[in-house]
Structure 1
Amino acid sequence: MKRKNIVLLLVVVGLGLVLSGCGAKKDVTDYSKAEHWLNVPTSTEKQVDVFYLYPTTYAPADQTNPSISTIDDAGMMANAKLAYDRQATAFETVANIYAPFYRQDNLSPVDREETIAGIPTTDATAAFEYYLKHYNNGRPFILVGHSQGADVTSNLLSGYLKEHPDVYQRMVAAYVIGYTVTEDYLAANPHLKFAEGPDDTGVIVSYNTEAPEVLAPGNPVITAGALAINPINWKRDETLATAAENLGSIGLNKDGSAVRNAEGIIAPVMNFADAQIDLDKGALICSTVNVDAYSPGSATFGKGVYHTFDYPFYYFNLRQNAENRSDKYLEKK
């Protein structure tokens, strides 16, 4: 009798594991639904695509809300559109831009990397696979992400693209900005390489922007061993790139969207942001911007952290660089 009970228990447990596995498999956003895409271009006239993942835009009203958003969370979706406007549009002259909505972590203080490697990365991977199968048509592509979106992008690079080298061969570059890429990460993923200049392809571009001095609580997105490349002069050393060398920053409205002129065009703001790498910190230092106005500090980011402005400060430099790397890729292929 005891043996029967044990067998029955094993069957029940086994069935539970199967059902659990089925449930986990189903817990992926369905990217065949148009409402689960932030942007899908209506035409594909460009020779290159961008696959864009927005930063953390999920901010629940109180702690009773789940730490992971739903795919249709209204606040996340609205803020994702604003992030797209100040970041992804930098690439619209060179690429057809595809941007999925994905479920996000709300800056979990514990096991954050493990959490982001779960549902957010699962969704992004599913979206990327759907994009490759239904939208890409074999074109070369650029990965673009910021903050949590860059974290998830790094998981795509170390996961899906490692497992699919044929797909990785079509990657022009990955802009993993607002998140730390380290030597340890590259050592653990020898198929990846960090950019060394403005022309190399199949590489990672990364940096995190700060003022010369950062106050408590500091910059949580920079960790030991952080690597950076200067988005103005595209050097890895501490050579200063002056604000006069900058191809153009952009202004932001109070809601975080890009400032446009009367014709609806995002115009460059000249002579605004310089850039110099601090090799010891692994940070990109901007010394010409008014800290009080642009980074007064918050509970998450200390005064002097220009996290929101990683793309806006160097918007037109990133545009020109994506165009250049795409040209170099297409020339080789």
Structure 2
Amino acid sequence: MRRMVNGHSGRMTRAALAAALMCASPVALAQGVGPVPTPTQLEEGAREVREGAVAPPDYADPAMWSAGPGGPGPAGALPQGATPNTADPGVAVFYVHPTTFLSKEDDWTQDPADAEANRWTDESVVQRQASAFSACCEIWSPRYRAASTNALRSRPHTDAAYALAYTDIERAFDWFLEHIGEGRPFILAGHSQGGKHVGDLLEKKVAGTPLQERLVAAYIVGINIAEAEVPLRFGSVPVCDHGDQTGCLVQWNAILAGTDLDPIVSAYEKSFIDIYGPQAGQQMVCVNPVTFERSQPSNLSAQAKGAVPGSPGFGAMAPLREGAVAARCERGMLVVYPAPGLELKPLPGTGVMHYHDIGLFWADIRANARLRAQRWLATHR
């Protein structure tokens, strides 16, 4: 069985790589890929996902965590120029990684024990994304049977692969809550597929329960949640209006300035309309991750605290670049203007900056998570 992770292989053609990457992008999360499957196709797809998946991970095993019981692991890495980590954080983060597993065969879900896939996951995303929360918080990041890019290319398999992955996330979250300490506040964070699972977790396990009181914030990045969807799904958990607000959520999707917004905005809004019907608020949520103020949807590059240059890959992060990204929320998308030399490229053939939703704003997210954590602790203790 040949396995590759997140397209990191010279054996793939550019066209195949572009198709795979787009399957992991917010477009796939908005509308899926391929024609609408019949009930029979869905049933067969679900059966194949179940039969092809490995056994559920045992979260009592530290190996089933990229960060957590065994320490911060890759989430403890810092780029040169970053502020040091807090020695005794009072807040815990539950971070869920995005799609990192690609197979050209019938592998619909990731094997949490796959060493190659885990190394790519750890170095290309956990190191670059979860580490942004390490100034305030103890980071926990589960390995899980994530939907593969192969599943995201096949609509008969997509929903079933996501559903199976979510069962792992929910069990990991329960284990996390049991072991972080009674009453300890937490942040939820995830990107792309991880953002979808974090959104589902917020909806099903946190919103409207006693756990909501312990929610510092939810960073649900790189998916598509509409303004009107927030109260419908999350009840009294609102979008964060201010940078120091707690008990709320933020979202953004980065796209390169000059890109035609119509196709992706239309796809996003269609995904909302298909479920809820046309109504006010079908535009996607966009919170600028430099200002973190809804009243300030734009920022100058001089305001940006620091981006991680270069594309995701193996090895250490490059030194932070301060003052290198201007951005503005437009039609629910975060339009970005990266400085020359950052070497942050959009997905092939698109202007979608999906892989850099967090890297573009690494130091800004770091400062904001710390601010929200401090505010929660000051308010509640």
User: TM above 0.5, one fold?
Assistant: yes
Q: Using CA pairs under 8 Å that are at least 6 residues apart, name the structure with larger relative contact order, 1 or 2.
A: 2
Which residue does 1:294 correspond to in 2?
A: 344
Q: Aligned partners of 2:333, 2:156: CA distance in 1, in Å?
A: 24
Indicate whether 1:96 and 2:148 are aligned: no
Tell me which structure has the larger Cα radius of gyration: 1
The one-letter code sitting in structure 1 at the alignment partner of 2:355 is T
- Closer/same/farther in 2, CA of residues 293 and 316 from structure 1, 3 Å limit: closer
Determine if contact 2:109/2:161 at 8 Å carries over to the other structure: no
The one-letter code sitting in structure 2 at the alignment partner of 1:303 is T
Structure 1 unmatched ranges of 5 or more: 1-19, 261-266
The one-letter code sitting in structure 2 at the alignment partner of 1:269 is R
Cα displacement (A) at 1:30: 1.4
Instruction: Output aligned runs, 1:1-333, within 5 Å.
Output: 28-40=56-68, 42=71, 45-60=88-103, 62=104, 64-82=105-123, 83-107=125-149, 108-109=152-153, 110=155, 114-115=159-160, 117-162=162-207, 165-189=209-233, 190-214=235-259, 219=264, 223-224=268-269, 225-236=283-294, 239-252=297-310, 255=313, 258-260=316-318, 267-278=319-330, 280=331, 282-289=332-339, 293-298=343-348, 302-333=349-380
What is the root-mean-square deviation in Å for CA atoms of aligned residues?
Answer: 3.0
Q: Aligned partners of 1:112, 1:241: CA distance in 2, in Å?
A: 40
Determine if contact 2:309/2:321 at 8 Å carries over to the other structure: yes
Q: Aligned partners of 1:194, 1:53: CA distance in 2, in Å?
A: 20
- Closer/same/farther in 2, CA of residues 220 and 34 from structure 1, 3 Å limit: farther
Determine if contact 2:196/2:220 at 8 Å carries over to the other structure: yes
TM-score between both structures, scaled by the size of structure 1: 0.80
- Closer/same/farther in 2, CA of residues 84 and 217 from structure 1, 3 Å limit: farther
Cα displacement (A) at 1:327: 1.2
- Closer/same/farther in 2, CA of residues 318 and 106 from structure 1, 3 Å limit: same
Determine if contact 1:104/1:120 at 8 Å carries over to the other structure: yes
- Closer/same/farther in 2, CA of residues 221 and 150 from structure 1, 3 Å limit: farther
- Closer/same/farther in 2, CA of residues 111 and 329 from structure 1, 3 Å limit: farther
Q: Aligned partners of 1:201, 1:216: CA distance in 2, in Å?
A: 31
**SS, match of residue 276 in structure 1:** strand
Mean Cα deviation higher: 186-195 or 26-35: 26-35
* Cα offsets for 1:156-190 (capped at 9, x unmatched): 01111147x11121010011111112134313221
Q: Aligned partners of 2:156, 2:339: CA distance in 1, in Å?
A: 34
The one-letter code sitting in structure 2 at the alignment partner of 1:102 is Y
Mean Cα deviation higher: 239-248 or 41-50: 41-50
Q: Aligned partners of 1:289, 1:270: CA distance in 2, in Å?
A: 10
Q: Aligned partners of 1:38, 1:98: CA distance in 2, in Å?
A: 7
Q: Aligned partners of 2:132, 2:360: CA distance in 1, in Å?
A: 11
TM-score between both structures, scaled by the size of structure 2: 0.71
Determine if contact 1:116/1:152 at 8 Å carries over to the other structure: no
The one-letter code sitting in structure 2 at the alignment partner of 1:30 is D
Q: State percent identity of aligned pairs.
A: 24
- Closer/same/farther in 2, CA of residues 68 and 139 from structure 1, 3 Å limit: same
- Closer/same/farther in 2, CA of residues 291 and 213 from structure 1, 3 Å limit: farther
- Closer/same/farther in 2, CA of residues 268 and 297 from structure 1, 3 Å limit: closer
